[in-house]
Amino acid sequence: MDEKVDSYIFSFPKAESALRKIEELLKFLLPQYAEEGKRSLSVAFGCTGGRHRSVAVAKRTAEYLRSLGYQADCVYRELW
């Protein structure tokens, strides 16, 4: 959750590109879930250490969902 780590991770074009694809997928799916009457969706990210990329991606994804007007909470299973 360190800003320096976040900046480093997303300084790589592939990381930024992967995040955009995740956002596109969620933007496409969430209205359809709502149409079906679903009230919640869990999205999980993981990586080998669980301390850097997954945390940064989860944080950015939650921020993106909030920007679309959805309620989004981040729950970190393990914080070192």
Confidence of residue 15 (pLDDT cuts 50, 70, 90): very high
Question: What is the rounded average pLDDT of the residues 5-11?
Answer: 92
CA-to-CA distance for 19 and 42, rounded, in angstroms?
17
* Percent of the chain surpassing pLDDT 70: 92
Where does 1-80 have alpha helices with state H? 3-9, 13-35, 53-67
Integer CA distances (angstroms), 63 to 22, 35, 42, 74, in order: 13, 23, 15, 10
CA-to-CA distance for 16 and 2, rounded, in angstroms?
17
Question: What is the rounded average pLDDT of the residues 40-61?
Answer: 85
Which tokens sit at 9? 């991770």
